[in-house]
């Protein structure tokens, strides 16, 4: 027996730790697994009893790079720290840990608990300096060996990727054929991918593509490839993230790209995690080989798609980007340029979108260059646009008809391919059911259920197709074609149709207009110079009326200052201004929000402090009472009045939105008040009667004192 093994070691448990890095090694390297299990016999020969030998093999198929997923190693460390282990037996150090940090942590635990470490070379005592030195060198070599193996494997992988030969899970629409990316042989998959790129070219935004697929009930494929298994094709609704990933991938432009993402370790919530980051710059990608395989689009189209996606980002719209047409009323969104400084002007919507101005971006000194209302400019632009589109009526009408037929055919083709797939699946399930022996009822019942399920799916697709044909006109009749030709010849009717959205009008404008330069002109009269730059390079110059400055009259500002100094609220100030017939600079009546904005602009202090409340007058000019005055005048409880309001006994009156409530005391109301006072529901300040009404009668007249506290403001 080895002299390092003492009686106190033999009195404790001997643990045999078994590990292999992958399940493939467990399957193919059986001799190594057998050698590790034989260490239990070695423990018995060294003096441990059969009942004292414990085998831990929970980590078979797990890497030794970390202890995070290795429950067996964690269990081993826990037993060692409790002093229950006399020796750890392992084939070699690398089986216990491939990380120097984990290995030295285990050595410290073994030294504290006086636990031996035994491998093929001998017995080691972590408390002995020489043994610990040897164990430390073995752990370092094991860690370095893992690093060298990773370098060799990663180097070969990157070398293969540099030549464009490294296979990876191909994106939807592609498959690897003899190591080269090729189109997916499934025609329905190809058509769906091509339709996505076609719609983005027309709609200009990923959300527009998603809405188009959802509006026509179209599905998008997703092919999940697994190692040593056939890829699984699943059809789902197109999501915005999926559309963005497809549009941004250079693989669809025929380029072999590898290394677009990188992983790095970060410390999050006290644990080390792997985080994937997308490398935006193409210079940081490991490999980019253009024209490496057939593409769905050209490289130029791919770069244009990236540019449009970048411009569509909402955070960049304020940075003078064009962006996709949106549903705002300003027709020059993304087209207007400032004639004074050359920056992009953007629309600003005010008053719930009813008032729109084109505003130049702010200068570095934080001042607005200039702004102008959109109404006159848009009207002048529409007039010039419709005149420019008038001459080629016949060519335009034929092109519109051709495009409509093409889009309808694309949608109908997608539906027919989906129907073909559903019918094939049903026929395949039928053939499988017919091929089974009738006596094998267990299999026959399963195949029959699958056949019925496929038949139901086919019927559902046929119903959805029929509904789409009725709702979306997937096939154009002769009457439809005549109507389209008639509308194409009368673009003004199409433009003014209520079904034509603002986004669609902007798309029409962008077909022939590149940019519009707006410049203020003050002499001889206030106008806006509108220079239209057509995509042909021609320039058209027109002038649009520019309203005078909307300055608030001085008498209005003086009255606001006077009323605010008398501690009137903004709503009361607005009411008084309207009562006197005064108007704002734009000729509009005053509202609470308008008064608030004017006070903020001209630095006028608020009439009431924030959260403050001034009591209303007891009666207004019509003789109506306020809530508090009515309660004090007739000695009735305010809670009873609120309860009457909620139950419809009394209807308060309000002169304007947000104004105070007033109560007209009519004879029926006076009778109701007298009845309440007779029953003892007067104000708390009055002397209560000696006899109190019953609980039932009291609850009928007045609810709980706090249940209707907020009926009236």
Binned at pLDDT 50, 70 and 90, residue 705 comes out as: very low
Instruction: Say if residue 398's pLDDT is above 60.
Output: no
Is residue 680 situated within a structural domain?
A: yes
Q: Domain with 97 in it: what CATH number?
A: 3.40.50.1390
- Kindly tell me the sign of the dihedral angle through the C-alpha atoms of 88, 92, 96, 97: positive
Does any domain span residue 501?
A: no
Which stretch of DSSP H or E encloses residue 338? strand 336-338
Q: How far apart are the first and last CA of the chain?
A: 94
357 token code pair: 């101005």
Does residue 348 fall inside a structural domain? Answer: no
pLDDT at 581: 85
Choose among 473, 481, 303: nearest CA to 400. 481
pLDDT at 685: 45
319 has pLDDT over 50 = no
Rounded Cα gap, residues 25 and 28, in angstroms: 5
Query: Three-state DSSP class for 372?
Result: strand
Res 695 pLDDT > 50: no
Read off the tokens for 313.
């980002």
Q: Average pLDDT in the 51-76 region?
A: 87
* Domain identity same for 475 and 399: yes
Q: Is the pLDDT of residue 393 over 90?
A: no
Contact in structure between 358 and 372 (CB atoms under 8 Å): yes
- Average of per-residue pLDDT across 147-175: 84
Q: Which residues pair with 274 in a beta bridge?
A: 265
**Exposure b/e, 684-709, CB count within 10 A at least 16 = b:** eeeeeeeeebeeeeeeebbbeeeebe
Same domain membership, residue 398 and residue 285: no
What would the two tokens of residue 522 be?
A: 């003050």
Is the same domain home to 15 and 151?
yes
Interval 433-477: pLDDT, tens: 888 887 777 778 888 888 888 888 888 888 887 877 766 655 556
In a domain? residue 538: no
Q: Decide if 361 is inside a domain.
A: no
User: Quick one: pLDDT at residue 283?
Assistant: 80
Q: Are residues 185 and 155 in the same domain?
A: no
Q: Which of 24-28, 48-52, 702-706 has the lowest mean pLDDT?
A: 702-706
125 vs 86: CA distance, rounded Å? 11
Give residues with Cβ within 8 angstroms of 175, minimum separation 6: 181, 182, 183, 184, 185, 231
- What is the distance of C-alpha 56 from the center of its chain? 46
Number of H helices and number of E strands within the chain?
26, 22
Digit-coded pLDDT (tens) for 260-303 = 877 776 666 666 666 767 766 788 888 888 888 899 999 999 99
Question: Do 304 and 184 share a structural domain?
Answer: yes
pLDDT band at 531 (very low <50, low <70, confident <90, very high): very high
Question: In the predicted model, is pLDDT for residue 708 greater than 50?
Answer: no
Query: How much of the chain, in percent, has pLDDT values that exceed 90?
Result: 9
The model's confidence at residue 694, banded by pLDDT at 50, 70 and 90, is: very low
Return the higher-pLDDT residue of 278 and 343: 343
pLDDT tens digits for range 472-505: 655 556 666 566 556 556 677 777 777 788 888 8
Are 48 and 189 within one domain?
Answer: no
Domain residues for the domain of 295 are: 174-312
Nearest-10 Cα torsion for 26, 31, 37, 41: 180
CB 107 within 8 A of CB 127: no
Instruction: For Cα atoms 208, 214, 217, give the angle at the middle one, nearest 5 degrees.
Output: 140
Neighbours of 504 (CB within 10 A): 15
Question: Taking a C-beta distance cutoff of 8 angstroms, is the pair 135, 126 a contact?
Answer: yes
In whole angstroms, what is the distance from residue 602 CA to residue 594 CA?
Answer: 12
pTM: 0.56
Structurally, the chain folds into a number of domains equal to 5
Using the Cα atoms of residue 471, residue 477, residue 479 and residue 485 in order, give the sign of their dihedral. positive
Contact indicator for 243, 236 with CB cutoff of 8 Å: no
d(CA 151, CA 650): 86
Q: What is the pLDDT of residue 196?
A: 92
**DSSP-derived 3-state class of residue 517:** strand
Catalytic (active site) residue 99: no
pLDDT of residue 686: 44
Least confident of 163-167, 199-203, 471-475, 620-624: 471-475
Judge if 123 and 42 occupy the same domain.
Answer: yes
Question: For residue 42, is it within any domain?
Answer: yes
Burial grade of 85 (CB within 10 A; 0-12, 13-18, 19 or more): buried
Q: Which of 660, 669, 664, 671 is nearest to 713 (CA)?
A: 660
Q: Of 398-407, 467-476, 512-521, 634-643, which has the strongest mean pLDDT?
A: 512-521
- pLDDT at res. 649: 81
**Comparison of pLDDT for 437 and 559, the residue scoring more:** 559
CA distance 347 to 668: 57
Q: DSSP strand E in 184-297: where?
A: 220-226, 229-236, 256-258, 261-268, 271-278, 287-289
What is d(CA 486, CA 393) in angstroms, rounded to the nearest whole number? 10
What is the pLDDT confidence band of residue 54, given thresholds at 50, 70 and 90?
A: very high
Q: Are 19 and 72 in contact (CB under 8 A)?
A: yes
CA angle centred on 25, ends 22 and 27, rounded to 5°: 115
Q: Where are the alpha helices (DSSP H) in 204-284?
A: 206-215, 240-248
Task: Tell me, yes or no, whether 95 and 146 share the same domain.
Answer: yes
**Interstrand relation of 180-183 and 174-177 (parallel, antiparallel or unpaired):** antiparallel
Same domain, 16 and 130: yes
Residues in contact with 138: Cβ distance below 8 Å, sequence separation at least 6, in sequence order: 92, 93
Which of 146-160, 205-219, 367-381, 675-689 comes out lowest in average pLDDT?
Answer: 675-689
Kindly write down the DSSP assignment for every residue of 400-466, as one continuous string: HHHHHHHHHHHHHHHHHHHHHHHHHHHHHHHHHHHHS-TT-HHHHHHHHHHHHHHHHHHHHHHHHHH
Residue 279 sits in the same domain as residue 185: yes
Give the whole-angstrom CA distance, residue 186 versus residue 190: 7
Same domain? For 200 and 304 the reply is yes
- Condensed to tens digits (0 to 9), the pLDDT of residues 248-258 reads 999 999 998 88
pLDDT at res. 688: 45
Residues 364 and 245: their CA atoms lie apart, in Å, by 36
pLDDT of residue 698: 41
CATH number at residue 292: 3.90.1750.20
Residue after which a domain boundary falls, among 491, 514, 538: 491
Secondary structure of residue 323 in the 3-state scheme:
coil
Q: How far apart are CA 516 and CA 372, in angstroms?
A: 14
Whole-number pLDDT of residue 489: 60
User: 526 vs 523, 544, 652, CA distance in Å?
Assistant: 6, 9, 50
Please state, in angstroms and rounded to a whole number, the distance separating the CA atoms of residues 256 and 166. Answer: 10
Last residue of a domain, one of 461, 491, 521: 491
Q: Which residues pair with 658 in a beta bridge?
A: none
pLDDT at position 176 over 50:
yes
Question: At which of 467, 491, 515 does a domain end?
Answer: 491
By residue count, the chain amounts to: 713
The pLDDT assigned to 405 comes to 62
Helix/strand/coil for 515: strand
- Residue 713 counted as domain residue: no
pLDDT band for 86, please (50, 70, 90 cuts): very high
**Claim to verify: residue 47 and residue 148 sit in the same structural domain:** yes
Task: Give pLDDT, residue 297.
Answer: 92
Give the other-Cβ count within 10 Å of 52's Cβ: 17
Report if residue 443 sits inside a domain. yes
- Quote the mean pLDDT of the chain: 79
């Amino acid at each position: 027996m080895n002299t390092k093994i003492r009686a106190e070691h033999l009195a404790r448990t001997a643990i045999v730790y078994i590990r292999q890095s992958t399940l493939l090694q467990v399957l193919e390297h059986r001799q190594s697994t057998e050698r590790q299990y034989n260490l239990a016999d070695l423990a018995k020969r060294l003096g441990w009893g059969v009942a004292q030998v414990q085998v831990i093999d929970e980590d078979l198929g797990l890497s030794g790079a970390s202890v995070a997923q290795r429950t067996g190693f964690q269990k081993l460390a826990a037993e060692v720290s409790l002093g229950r282990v006399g020796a750890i037996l392992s084939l070699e150090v690398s089986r216990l840990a491939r990380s120097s940090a984990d290995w030295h942590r285990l050595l410290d635990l073994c030294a504290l608990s006086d636990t031996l470490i035994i491998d093929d070379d001998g017995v080691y005592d972590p408390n002995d300096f020489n043994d610990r030195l040897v164990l430390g060198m073995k752990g370092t070599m094991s860690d370095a060996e893992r690093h060298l193996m990773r370098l060799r494997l990663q180097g070969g992988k990157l070398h293969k990727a540099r030549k464009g030969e490294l296979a990876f899970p191909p994106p939807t629409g592609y498959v690897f054929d003899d190591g080269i990316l090729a189109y997916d042989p499934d025609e329905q998959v190809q058509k769906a991918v091509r339709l996505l790129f076609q719609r983005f070219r027309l709609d200009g935004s990923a959300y527009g593509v998603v809405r188009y697929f959802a509006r026509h009930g179209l599905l998008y494929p997703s092919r999940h490839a697994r190692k040593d298994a056939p890829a699984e094709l699943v059809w789902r609704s197109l999501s915005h993230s999926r559309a963005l990933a497809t549009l941004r991938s250079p693989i669809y432009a025929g380029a072999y790209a590898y290394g677009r993402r990188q992983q790095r370790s970060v410390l999050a919530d006290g644990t080390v995690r792997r985080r994937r980051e997308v490398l935006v710059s193409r210079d940081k990608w490991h490999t980019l080989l253009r024209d490496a395989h057939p593409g769905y689009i050209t490289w130029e189209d791919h770069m244009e798609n990236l540019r449009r996606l970048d411009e569509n980002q909402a955070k960049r719209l304020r940075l003078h980007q064009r962006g996709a047409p949106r549903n705002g009323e300003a027709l020059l969104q993304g087209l207007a340029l400032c004639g004074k400084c050359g920056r992009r002007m953007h629309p600003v919507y005010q008053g719930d979108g009813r008032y729109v101005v084109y505003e130049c971006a702010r200068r570095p000194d934080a001042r607005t260059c200039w702004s102008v209302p959109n109404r006159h400019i848009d009207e002048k632009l529409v007039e010039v646009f419709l005149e420019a589109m008038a001459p080629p009526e016949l060519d335009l009408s034929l092109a519109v008809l051709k495009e409509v037929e093409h889009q309808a055919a694309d949608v109908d083709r997608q539906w027919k391919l989906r129907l073909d797939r559903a019918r094939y699946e049903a026929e395949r399930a039928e053939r499988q059911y017919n091929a089974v022996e009738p006596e094998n009822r267990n299999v026959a019942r399963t195949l029959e259920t699958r056949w019925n399920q496929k038949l139901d799916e086919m019927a559902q697709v046929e119903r959805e197709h029929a509904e789409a044909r009725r709702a979306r006109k997937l096939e154009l009749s002769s009457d439809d074609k005549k109507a389209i030709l008639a509308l194409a010849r009368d673009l003004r009717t199409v433009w003014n149709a209520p079904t034509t959205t603002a986004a669609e009008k902007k798309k029409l404008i962008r077909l022939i207009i590149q940019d519009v330069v707006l410049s203020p002109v003050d002499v001889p009269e206030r106008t806006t110079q509108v220079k239209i730059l057509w995509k042909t390079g021609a320039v058209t110059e027109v002038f649009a009326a520019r309203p005078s400055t909307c300055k608030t009259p001085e008498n209005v500002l003086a009255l606001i200052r006077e009323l605010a100094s008398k501690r009137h609220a903004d709503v009361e100030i607005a009411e008084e201004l309207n009562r006197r017939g005064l108007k704002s600079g734009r000729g509009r009546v005053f509202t609470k929000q308008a008064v608030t904005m004017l006070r903020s602009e001209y630095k006028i202090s608020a009439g009431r402090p924030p959260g403050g409340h001034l009591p209303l007058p007891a009666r207004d000019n019509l003789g109506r009472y306020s809530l508090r005055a009515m309660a004090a005048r007739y000695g009735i409880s305010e809670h009873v009045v609120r309860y009457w309001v909620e139950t419809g006994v009394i209807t308060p009156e309000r002169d304007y939105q947000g104004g105070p409530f007033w109560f007209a005391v009519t004879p029926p109301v006076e009778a109701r008040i007298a009845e309440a006072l007779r029953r003892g529901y007067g104000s708390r300040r009055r002397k209560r009667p000696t006899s109190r009404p019953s609980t039932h009668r009291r609850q009928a007249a007045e609810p709980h004192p706090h249940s209707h506290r907020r009926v009236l403001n």
